[in-house]
């Protein structure tokens, strides 16, 4: 498992805890502010446009009002002429006024003092093909012309026609004074205001040089939208710049007022907020790093101390010095490690003592066992000769003096001879038992079946005599002392035949199964069985549960069998039921590779 660095993790967590909220809040604030700013600029532009449109409308309304006063005045009267002259001279933006009858003939006229035209040239003119005259006459509504350049003044003018009772009043209005109109100075420094006529030709622009070129902005997005009847705020690109603009229409003339602002200027506060947020993020990040570093140092230092202390304790330096911790929790942890070290040290001392005693005990046991084995071997071996002598002489006494002494003597001699023979038998068995350990050959890989066959051959007489049926399935290759393995099978098969039930043909079945790293070999019979309460003692030396008269033997066979199995690193046990039979199961390490099996550890 890949371990992460505590300090790195801590730093990351602190950074994220610091940066995520400030970034989220900052981003949200910036986006929201941009939206609010956009709405505010749009609203302000809309207000500017509508105000300007209202002002222009008022400006254009003045000549309409001036003409309307002639509604009921006889155009041929002196009053009319006086009023005309008064209007033309007192209203500075009116260049000329014509009172036209319903037939299109100019009945009276007046021009402004600076107008380079004679009034008499105007009276009597035919205006029947004047579009404004025709419109006003047919609709009885005020009609405005497009913007044109006056041939007389060279100024940009519009012409307005107002229905009167007897005909139409027509005025030519100089609109260049719009440039000096007060609303032009009221607009925001960053905002631009543009007025175009109904054809899209520019009448006014905050940039006077641009306005002087009189460009046609008919195809500019907000103007085109307004001409299509779609007024209001919009965001668009103009000359490669992103603009926010609002439009309003001047009633009557159809002029369009556009108040627009470069989005870069409008968004400057937003940019400042962006930069502020970015700066705050960077500062917070740096502070977070510093905090993380300090925090990691505060936390990491004690942890490093404790880690080092624990490492030294782990290496056995229980007396290692430890730093006094600033924080209670770390001090408690340090105390805990110290207490643990002390406990470990004490237990380790006890363990050393115990181990020392154990080693001594084991050595003593090994020595004792060896001596015992040596003793048993020596005793059993060396006792044979004097015992054979005792047996021989007791048998000689029995042979020579049987019937020559009294009957008790014969019995005594017979008892002595039987005892000597039995003792000789037991000593031989004991010698065999001790030889398992002392005289065994080195184990090697052998076929278990071969050992079984050898045992069966050795028991040929008993098998034949008893009619026993000894069968075995496929048996494994095992690492064993061949002679002892054969002896093991011989003991178990021999017991099966010996302890057969009366009238029942002995049946012995030998098989093997793999259980983990061991082979478990079973030898099952259908003999008299063993009381399950005695199965734990059946492998003891000279332990018998049946009468020697019924089943001769010393009771050494199963003890030898257990010793053989244990010498090979296995165990032996018995499962039995009285009157049914017994199954002896012993294990041997599976360390030999089977000829047809895969690779096996040997």
Partner 1 sequence: MKRTRSTLHSAVQIVLLVALVTVSSVASGCSPSAKSNKAITIGYIGGFSGRAASLGIAGRDGALLAVEEANAKSGDPGAPIFTLEAVDDGVGAAAAADAVSALAGKGARAIIGPMTSASAVAAAPVADRLRIPMLSPTASTDELSGRDDYFLRIYPDNRSAAKRLVNEVLREFPAARVAVIYDLGNEAHTQSWANHFQRQLKLGGGSIESSQTFVSGDNPDYTDLAEGAAASPSDCVFLIANAIDSAMIAQRLRAAGSKLPIFASEWSATADLVSTGGAAVDGMVFLNTYDRGSRQSDFVSMSEAFRTRFGYDPGFAAVHAYGMTSMLVRTLSAHPDSQDLRSELLTGQLSTTIQGTTKFDRFGDVALPYYVMTIEDGQFTRLDDR
Q: Which two tokens stand for residue 92?
A: 């500075």
How does 47-71 read in b/e, with b if 16+ C-beta sit within 10 Å?
Answer: ebbbbbbebbbebbeebbebbeebe
Q: Which two tokens stand for residue 96?
A: 């000329």
Min dist CB 41 to partner 1, Å, is 16
DSSP helix/strand/coil, 479? strand
Min dist CB 103 to partner 1, Å, is 11
Nearer to partner 1, 53 or 296 (CB): 296
Residue pair 194/217 in contact (Cβ under 8 Å)? The answer is: yes
* Strand ordering across the sheet containing 572-577: 469-472, 507-515, 518-525, 581-589, 572-577
Min dist CB 10 to partner 1, Å, is 8
Nearer to partner 1, 20 or 504 (CB): 20
507-515 and 469-472 strand pairing: parallel
Residue pair 193/258 in contact (Cβ under 8 Å)? The answer is: yes
Nearer to partner 1, 34 or 449 (CB): 34
Helices (H), 91-173: 119-122, 131-139
Which residue spans within 437-571 are E strands per DSSP?
444-447, 469-472, 477-480, 507-515, 518-525
Q: Helix (H) and strand (E) counts for the chain?
A: 15, 18
Q: Which residues contact 304 (CB under 8 A, 6 or more apart)?
A: none
Min dist CB 212 to partner 1, Å, is 6
Min dist CB 571 to partner 1, Å, is 55
Min dist CB 299 to partner 1, Å, is 11
Min dist CB 216 to partner 1, Å, is 5
| Residue 247: C-alpha distances to residues 48, 102, 206, 561 (Å) | 9, 38, 15, 115
Nearer to partner 1, 173 or 590 (CB): 173
Q: Which residues contact 96 (CB under 8 A, 6 or more apart)?
A: 88, 109, 110, 111, 112, 115, 117, 122, 171, 172
Min dist CB 121 to partner 1, Å, is 4
Min dist CB 594 to partner 1, Å, is 55
Nearest residue to 18 (alpha-carbon basis) of 280, 300, 275? 280
The residue ranges that bind partner 1 (CB under 8 A) are 5, 7-8, 11-12, 15, 19, 104, 116-118, 120-121, 124-131, 146, 148-154, 156, 198-201, 212-214, 216, 218-219, 240, 264, 271, 274-275, 277-278, 281-282, 285-286, 288-289, 292-293, 296-297, 300
Nearer to partner 1, 278 or 578 (CB): 278
Distance (Å, whole) CA 415 – CA 450: 43
Nearer to partner 1, 99 or 590 (CB): 99
Min dist CB 32 to partner 1, Å, is 17
Distance (Å, whole) CA 299 – CA 295: 6
Min dist CB 591 to partner 1, Å, is 50
Q: Which residues contact 66 (CB under 8 A, 6 or more apart)?
A: 87, 91, 94, 97, 171
Residue pair 52/195 in contact (Cβ under 8 Å)? The answer is: yes
Nearer to partner 1, 239 or 550 (CB): 239
Residue 472 CA to its chain's centroid (Å): 60
Nearer to partner 1, 104 or 252 (CB): 104
Helices (H), 459-502: 460-466, 482-498
Nearer to partner 1, 136 or 427 (CB): 136
Min dist CB 308 to partner 1, Å, is 13
Q: What is the dihedral of CA 494, 499, 502, 503, to 10 degrees?
A: -30
DSSP helix/strand/coil, 161? strand
Nearer to partner 1, 2 or 120 (CB): 120
Nearer to partner 1, 64 or 285 (CB): 285
Nearer to partner 1, 7 or 567 (CB): 7
User: What value does the CA radius of gyration of the chain take, rounded to a whole number of Å?
Assistant: 65
Residue pair 34/40 in contact (Cβ under 8 Å)? The answer is: no
Nearer to partner 1, 240 or 403 (CB): 240
Min dist CB 364 to partner 1, Å, is 55
Per-position DSSP letters for 238-266, written without gaps between them: ETTEEEEEEEEE-TTT--EEEEEEEHHHH
């Amino acid at each position: 498992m890949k371990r992460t660095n505590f300090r790195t993790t801590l730093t990351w967590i602190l950074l994220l805890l610091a940066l995520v909220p400030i970034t989220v809040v900052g981003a949200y604030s910036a986006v929201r502010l941009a939206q609010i700013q956009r709405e505010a600029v749009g609203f302000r532009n809309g207000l500017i446009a509508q105000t300007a449109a209202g002002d222009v409308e008022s400006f254009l309304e003045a000549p309409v009002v001036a003409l309307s006063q002639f509604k009921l005045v006889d155009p041929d009267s002196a009053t009319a002429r006086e009023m005309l002259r008064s209007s033309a001279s007192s209203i500075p933006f009116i260049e000329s006024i014509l009172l036209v009858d319903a037939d299109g003939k100019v009945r009276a006229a007046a021009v402004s003092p600076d107008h380079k035209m004679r009034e008499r040239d105007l009276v009597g003119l035919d205006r029947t093909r004047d579009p404004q005259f025709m419109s006003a006459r047919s609709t009885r509504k005020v009609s405005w012309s497009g913007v044109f350049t006056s041939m007389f003044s060279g100024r940009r003018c519009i012409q307005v026609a107002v229905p009167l009772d007897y005909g139409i009043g027509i005025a030519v209005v100089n609109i260049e004074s719009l440039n000096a109109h007060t609303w032009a100075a009221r607009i925001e420094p960053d905002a631009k205001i543009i007025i175009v006529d109904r054809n899209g030709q520019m009448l006014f622009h905050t940039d006077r040089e641009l306005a002087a070129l009189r460009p046609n902005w008919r195809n500019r997005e907000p103007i085109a939208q307004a001409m299509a009847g779609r007024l209001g705020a919009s965001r668009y690109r103009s000359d490669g710049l992103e603009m926010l603009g609002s439009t309003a229409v001047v009633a009557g003339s159809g002029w369009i007022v556009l108040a627009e602002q470069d989005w870069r200027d409008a968004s400057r506060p937003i940019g400042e907020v962006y930069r502020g947020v970015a700066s705050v993020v960077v500062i917070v990040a740096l502070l977070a790093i510093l905090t993380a570093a300090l925090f990691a140092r505060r936390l990491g230092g004690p942890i490093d101390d404790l880690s080092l202390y624990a490492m030294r304790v782990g290496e056995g330096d229980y007396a290692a010095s430890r730093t006094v911790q600033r924080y209670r929790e770390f001090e408690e942890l340090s105390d805990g490690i110290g207490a643990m070290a002390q406990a470990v040290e004490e237990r380790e001392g006890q363990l050393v003592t115990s181990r020392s005693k154990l080693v001594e005990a084991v050595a003593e046991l090994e020595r004792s066992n060896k001596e015992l084995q040596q003793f048993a071997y020596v005793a059993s071996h060396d006792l044979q000769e004097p015992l054979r002598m005792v047996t021989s002489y007791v048998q000689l006494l029995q042979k020579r003096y049987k019937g020559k002494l009294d009957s008790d003597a014969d019995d005594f001699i017979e008892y002595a001879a039987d005892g000597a023979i039995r003792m000789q038998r037991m000593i031989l068995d004991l010698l065999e038992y001790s030889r398992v350990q002392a005289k065994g050959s080195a184990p090697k890989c052998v076929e278990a079946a071969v050992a079984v066959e050898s045992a069966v051959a050795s028991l040929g007489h008993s098998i034949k005599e008893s009619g026993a049926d000894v069968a075995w399935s496929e048996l494994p290759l095992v690492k064993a002392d061949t002679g002892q393995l054969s002896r093991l099978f011989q003991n178990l098969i021999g017991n099966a035949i010996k302890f057969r039930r009366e009238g029942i043909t002995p049946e012995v079945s030998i098989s093997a199964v793999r259980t983990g790293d061991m082979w478990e070999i079973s030898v099952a019979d259908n003999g008299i069985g063993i009381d399950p309460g005695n199965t734990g003692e059946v492998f003891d030396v000279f332990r018998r549960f049946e009468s020697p008269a019924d089943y001769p033997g010393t009771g050494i066979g199963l003890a030898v069998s257990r010793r053989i199995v244990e010498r090979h690193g296995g165990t032996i046990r018995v499962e039995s039921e009285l009157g049914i039979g017994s199954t002896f199961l012993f294990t041997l390490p599976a360390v030999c590779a089977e000829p047809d099996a895969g690779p096996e550890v040997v």
